[in-house]
Structure 1
Amino acid sequence: LDYIRRLLRSYAAYVCNVQRIAQARCPVVRFCHKQQKIFCELSINNHLAVANTELVRYFLLFEPKLRSLLCTIRLWIKQKDLLGRGHRFNTYTLFWMIVCTLQLDNKQLPSVQSLAERANHKRQYGPWNCSIPDLNQIERNISDVPIGK
């Protein structure tokens, strides 16, 4: 991670606030893209983080309306000054709150367990079953149902 930190610092025209966080559960290097003002965390050999990112991507592709819903709620939360650091929400938390609501209240999204059960290729990391099916592998039954109904 020190090498990556030094490498990122050599691109000072593009990134800023490069710092190594060694005490994290999985050590990371944090930095910010100057022009886009995007904060990033980079870790190595964190299979669960990769599987989590793939699961987020899966839900966003499975239900395209989810992105719009997330952006709308995020904007509202931001206007109420409830988005940010400290005792506020972040986009990741909002995403999972919305997914959970859509899974429980009106079954508009499949559960993570049902996704793992339907996957053709099993991926296990320690005790965690991180299997998800290909998008074309499961039948979408919500394409005509507006989110929130």
Structure 2
Amino acid sequence: MSEVEFVEVNEKDIDIIGPLWEKLIEHLQLNSEDFTNRLSQHDFQTRKKDILNKAESGAVRIDLARNLTQDQLIGFCISSITKDNEAEIDAIYVEDRYQRLGIGDKFMKKALFWMDAKSVKAKKIIITSGNEKIIAFYSRYGLFQYIVM
């Protein structure tokens, strides 16, 4: 993983994740029949607007993973904290060929450290119906309220 660089950006740089967001959507479509019906709620422009709204009233953190050798973005994690001091992992994605290398783990640890530093009162993640296999990954961190939609 030495060829992978982790960088934190803010909501002003959200457009950089657009192509990876589309890959996340493709993944969810393949794994969830229900997701296709709600696709318009999750396209990049709609979610971008939601994230920017969260940033205005609370805080947003965007972590990126980049393959330095190929100068290519390979993953992202968006976390947010509401004005009510409740935290959420809004989205996490790692390109298929980079999965199981600890990138998702590093994203989670960075997000949780940030949330803890902000003394949030609750942490949650919403999981798309059909993508329940990801619960095993999130359960390692043991601090979440899961909502399956």
* Shorter-chain TM-score above 0.5: no
Q: Which has the larger radius of gyration?
A: 1
Q: TM-score with structure 1 length normalisation?
A: 0.26
More strand by share: 2
More helix by share: 2
- Larger RCO (CA under 8 A, 6+ residues apart): 2
Q: TM-score with structure 2 length normalisation?
A: 0.26
